[in-house]
Amino acid sequence: MAVLMFERAKRSLARAVLVATAFGCVATALPTGANAQEAQVYRSAPRLPDFQGADRRFGTYRTRISDEMRTGPNFAWRYAIVEIGCGTSCRFVFVGDVSTGRVYDFPYGGEEFYMLNLRYNVKENYVTARWISDGVCMEDFLEWDGARFMSANMRVVGPRTICEAL
């Protein structure tokens, strides 16, 4: 049983690494107070995406993205992470720059990342993501550089019950 779980976890990790690679994620060190960019939280009026132009591909979610961006930044001083449910324990995630209106994809989301749970802060540029894959709880630390997320430490946390307890 343990061998079977380990093999599934290895396959899940390999699949997650492929997804991370497809989204341009690379390994890096976790940010610390010393190397994380210090800045003021954006407090001006938010700029919304151009769903007729540059951000056209996000148009299906324009109401949810715009509504969340109107509330101001909730991540990395000037960004709004937008989480949209797509069914039972399923979620899509986008990142909107409230200072420019530009929208970015998040590397994890959809049915492949069952029970995706994100932890982030308006004064930090990294996200902790947890999800269930093939019966195990997976975790990744993602650092945002202003254009993309970089994976810092994807790992198997343990049995799915760890993710379910969140």
Write b or e for each residue in 39-74: b if 16 or more Cβ atoms lie within 10 A of its Cβ, otherwise e. eeebeeebebbebeeebeebeebbebbbebbeebbb
Between 14 and 65, residue with greater pLDDT: 65
Cβ pair 51, 58 in contact under 8 A: yes
Per-residue pLDDT of 37-75, as tens digits, reads: 457 999 999 999 999 999 999 999 999 999 999 999 999
Q: In the prediction, which pLDDT does 11 show?
A: 53
Per-residue pLDDT of 122-140, as tens digits, reads: 999 999 999 999 999 999 9
Per-residue pLDDT of 71-126, as tens digits, reads: 999 999 999 999 999 988 999 999 999 999 999 999 999 999 999 999 999 999 99
Q: In the prediction, which pLDDT does 1 show?
A: 46
List Cβ neighbours of 158 (8 Å cut-off, separation of 6 or more): 136, 137
